[in-house]
Chains A and B, each alone.
Chain A
Amino acid sequence: MTEREKTSSPSWFRGPGGRRFGRQFAAIILIKLAALILLWSICFRPYPRPDTAPAAMGTHLGVSTEKSDDQ
């Protein structure tokens, strides 16, 4: 760093206000990820995966009479 840069005041992010902001920033993301995992576990995970094998797609679109084994 140059001499001029060294004389510049320290970053706000290293002070108490900045550290509080950093904690809030991290907490929001972590809480949100936890909430998304919870949402996934309750609303989506219990249900079976839709069958999208080619034969099942054929049945879905009505162009095939064969049934998918996976269904």
Chain B
Amino acid sequence: MINETVVDLSRLQFALTALYHFLFVPLTLGLAWMLAIMESVYVMTGREIWKRMTQFWGVLFGINFAMGVATGITMEFQFGTNWAYYAHYVGDIFGTPLAIEGLMAFFLESTFIGLFYFGWDRLSRVKHLFATYMLALGTNLSALWILIANGWMQNPIGSEFNFETMRMEVTDFAAVILNPVAQAKFVHTVSAGYVLGAMFVLSISAWYLLKGRNVEFAKRSMTVAASFGLASALSVVVLGDESGYGVSENQKMKLAAIEAMWETEPAPASFTLVGFPNQKEQRTDFAIHIPWVMGIIGTRSFTETMPGIRDLVADAEQRIANGMKAYAALQKLRADRNDAQARAEFTAHEKDLGYALLLKRSLDDPASATQADIEMAAAGTIPNVPVLFWSFRIMVACGFWFIALFAIAFWYASRRQLDQRRWFLRAALWSLPLPWIAAELGWIVAEYGRQPWAIEGVLPTALGVSTVSVGQIATSLAGFVIFYTALAVVDAWLMVRYARKGPDGLGMWPQTTTGGSHA
């Protein structure tokens, strides 16, 4: 029988490390392109201030890079230690993009970050600019391969189950790479990173303007952040809509949970603006609905219905029953691989095998499940509705706030009034944590909403966990918490220290241009 405490602790450990890792990733993604933009202006105009801007924001980029690098490796530790059965079951597909990410993108990024810092006086301007673009490209390619792996977990295509090796294997690698869910997630995620990078520059620059320090430096930085941030904030909403459309096609339960849509509504379904989902009673209290909106967003039509949670649970019951047939046929095939009848039965119901595995949570032998067992397993396909409902709404609200803030910044930048609107500078400063909150909530929606599946419809999370003890996981979890807490403290201290010093305190600007000295 599955040890639920081991499952929960393994999930908690992975969630903590993933959420911590993603504090660094989006800033790297966004700031890298902003460095490339600033340096492009330097190369085109030859103005020293743009070079110093690139170098100053490059210092903060470096702190983030140094603190963030290798925080993702611990997740790969866990695939081998806490998630060994998961790693075996889907490693043939999932491992490939991870390996490509390590071999190609990460080395590209790591190589060019060296050239970025140490190549200023050794490379020509154009060659150094090329290195900066390669650095930005490397960080984004890293994200691409990771999100191809993650996209396959949400929409497992291009693969099939091999009963002889007892694992999923690739049948069409191009389909895995070109998975529409992965592509939508990639552009949505990197856009969110661009917003975060832009907000980082906007907020710190606003602080300099409020303090009356580094005024020319900060105004130019804010102008870049406003332009890049506005384009990115608009993109992230549009691309998020595309990502949501993908969810409506292959993760209907996740979408229904995000909307707390308990019943199937007539097309086009309404959007629940706010409300208080009551999972126990399966209803949403004090809900405010906006007619038609959800149907249009989710199906891009006026006539297509969106299934509610109760209908999806009924559908899951049917798929579990089908999966039990595949499971019984698999047992026969394991005993005799030449059993043609069993092979035909297995092929007919193979796509629902994962649903039968949901029964393993409460039964040793899913083939012996009663109707009550099936109903209980089907009810377990409902994720935590209130968490998804609110996480999604807070994330979306942040997204619209970013559009408004960057639009105002763009307006003031174009009128050269950025340093004259203190209310706006304060709003920009206090908005600094919001992109991180939105990004983390986005991952909570994506991954918590996938439960109870590790691989949607293929492998229940509980079956991916290694046969380890509670004590072993508790020890490693404690180790990670101590390690990451220490890192977080050092990171915050370094980032605040360098940001407070600013280009003037670090001797970058304006001293270096006036006297030619290099303090």
Residues of A within 8 A of B (CB): 1-2, 4-5, 8-17, 21-22, 24-25, 28-29, 32-33, 35-36, 39-40, 42-44, 47, 49-50, 52, 54, 57-58, 60-64, 66
Contacts and interface: CB of A to CB of B under 8 A. Distances in A.
A58 B334 contact: yes
Interface in B280-310: none
A62 B366 CA distance: 8
Contacts of B55: 11-13
B125 A50 contact: no
B100 interface: no
A67 to B, nearest CB: 13
Interface residues of B, number: 63
Nearest to A45: B81
A42 B483 CA distance: 13
Main secondary structure of the interface of A (DSSP, over half): helix
Interface stretch (B62-70, B173-181, B408-416): B62-70
Given A9-B518, A13-B55, A50 B84 contact: yes
A43 B75 CA distance: 14
Contacts, number: 129
A22 to B, nearest CB: 7
B230 interface: no
Contact of B48 (A8, A13, A42): A8
Contact of A28 (B59, B67, B364, B512): B67
B518 A15 contact: yes
B6 to A, nearest CB: 12
22 contacts: A1-B124, A9-B48, A10-B518, A11-B55, A12-B507, A13-B120, A15-B519, A28-B67, A32-B69, A32-B487, A35-B486, A39-B483, A43-B475, A44-B81, A50-B85, A52-B88, A54-B165, A54-B166, A54-B167, A60-B85, A63-B166, A66-B334
A43 B476 contact: yes
Interface stretch (B240-248, B268-276, B428-436, B463-471): B463-471
A52 B479 contact: no
Contacts of B468: 47, 50
B228 to A, nearest CB: 23
A57 B88 contact: yes
A60 B81 contact: no
Nearest to A60: B85
A25 B165 CA distance: 45
A16 B516 CA distance: 15
Interface of B: 46, 48, 51-52, 55, 59, 62-63, 66-67, 69-70, 73-74, 77, 80-81, 84-85, 87-89, 117-118, 120-121, 124-125, 164-167, 327, 330-331, 334, 357, 360, 364-366, 463, 466-468, 472, 475-476, 479-480, 483, 486-487, 490, 494, 506-508, 512-513, 516, 518-519
B69 A29 contact: yes
Contacts of A52: 84-85, 87-88
Nearest to B334: A64
B48 A36 contact: no
B121 A11 contact: yes
A44 B66 contact: no
A60 to B, nearest CB: 6
The 6 tightest CB contacts between A and B, nearest first, are A11-B120, A52-B88, A50-B84, A57-B166, A43-B476, A50-B466
A3 to B, nearest CB: 12
B73 A36 contact: yes
Nearest to B71: A32
A62 B360 contact: yes
A43 B331 CA distance: 37
Contacts of B357: 61
Residue from B66, B360, B487 having most chain A Cβ neighbours under 10 A: B66
B460 to A, nearest CB: 10
Contacts of A63: 166, 327, 330-331, 334
Contacts of B63: 25
B327 A60 contact: no
Contact of A13 (B118, B164, B167): B118
B519 to A, nearest CB: 7
A25 B454 CA distance: 36
Contacts of A29: 66, 69-70
